Each structure stands twice: as C-alpha cells, then as structure tokens.
C-alpha cells in the first residue's frame, strides 16, 4: 500500500513537471486571447504536438473557428525558403496540430483563426533545437 502511494506521488510529480515544461506562448489576436502549447521545450526538429486554446473577450472557449498553422524558415545559404501549412482538429475545446520542423534554427509561426468570415493572426518565433 505504501509503495503504491509512492508510485502515485511520483506519477503526479512527473506529470506536473512535464506539464510545466511545455513551451507556451500567449498572445492577443483581435478580441481573442490565444494560448499555444507545444509538448517539447524548446521545440525540436521533427514532430511537436501543438495545442491551441482560443478564448473570446468574455473568456469563453471559442470552438467554432477554422484554425490553420503556417510555419516557415526564410532562405539561408544552401537552403531555399521553407513554408509549411497544417490544419488543426478540435479536441476538448482546443485545436490540435502536429508541427513538423525539418531543421533546427529560427522558425516563424503564423496561426490563422477564421471565424464568421474574419481572419485574425497570431505570429511568433520559435528557436528549434
Ligand atoms: Cu534553414
């Protein structure tokens, strides 16, 4: 019984730590407050599970938007500009996407939120390891 409790505590700690370790960005887009969370911190070359939460001005979850994630790296010596785009799917009031960075370095991220015929954007940079 004691061992079981210890295991539970360790599991809780591990979960708490991995949760706190996520890469997060919170930014305003128009009337929306957007929180982006990636499961790797710093984000890595390869697949990063990404979760986007959107709240309206009243603080309510926005779940009826179309959300697209664009990510790009400008051209550099020996490498043409790279541009990628991925759709998101809705799950538990969040928009889920997999961002697959093809190399390390600075990437631009542009999240496009379309709702009722209007598009708002959230832009930020990530330093991919
Ligand atoms: Cu590059």
Q: What global pTM score does this model have?
A: 0.83
Report the separation in Å between the CA atom of 81 and the middle of ligand 1, taken as the mean of its atom positions: 7
CB 21 within 8 A of CB 38: no
Q: How far is the CA of 105 from the centre of ligand 1 (A)?
A: 7
Least confident of 7-11, 94-98, 107-111, 123-127: 7-11
Percent of the chain with pLDDT over 90: 84
Ligand 1 centre to CA of 44 (Å) is 14
pLDDT of residue 7: 75
Report d(CA 100, CA 79) in Å as an integer. Answer: 17
The CA distance from 28 to 89, in Å, is 21
What is the Å distance from ligand 1's center to 47 Cα?
Answer: 16
Please tell me the predicted confidence (pLDDT) of residue 21: 82
Cα angle 105-21-112, degrees, rounded to a multiple of 5: 60
Mean pLDDT check: name the lowest of 20-29, 45-54, 73-82, 116-125.
20-29
Mean pLDDT of the chain: 92
Biggest CA–CA distance in the chain, Å, is 61
Q: What is the pLDDT of residues 50-68, one digit of tens each?
A: 999 999 999 999 999 999 9
Tell me, in angstroms, the distance from the centre of ligand 1 to residue 66's CA. Answer: 29
User: Cα of 103 to ligand 1 centre, how many Å?
Assistant: 6
The whole-angstrom separation of Cα 34 and Cα 41 is 18
Q: In this predicted model, what pLDDT tens digit does every residue of 7-42 receive, in sequence order?
A: 777 766 666 655 558 999 999 999 999 999 999 999
């Amino acid at each position: 019984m004691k061992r079981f409790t210890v295991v539970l505590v360790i599991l809780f700690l591990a979960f708490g730590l991995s949760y706190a370790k996520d890469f997060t960005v919170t930014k305003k887009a128009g009337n929306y407050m957007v929180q982006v969370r990636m499961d790797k911190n710093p984000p890595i070359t390869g697949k990063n599970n990404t979760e986007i939460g959107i709240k309206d001005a009243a603080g309510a979850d926005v779940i009826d938007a179309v959300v697209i994630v664009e990510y790009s790296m400008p051209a550099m010596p020996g490498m043409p500009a790279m541009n990628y785009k991925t759709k998101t799917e809705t799950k538990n009031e969040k928009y889920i996407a997999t961002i697959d960075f093809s190399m390390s370095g600075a990437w631009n991220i542009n999240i496009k939120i379309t709702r009722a015929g209007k598009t708002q954007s959230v832009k930020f940079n990530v330093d991919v390891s």
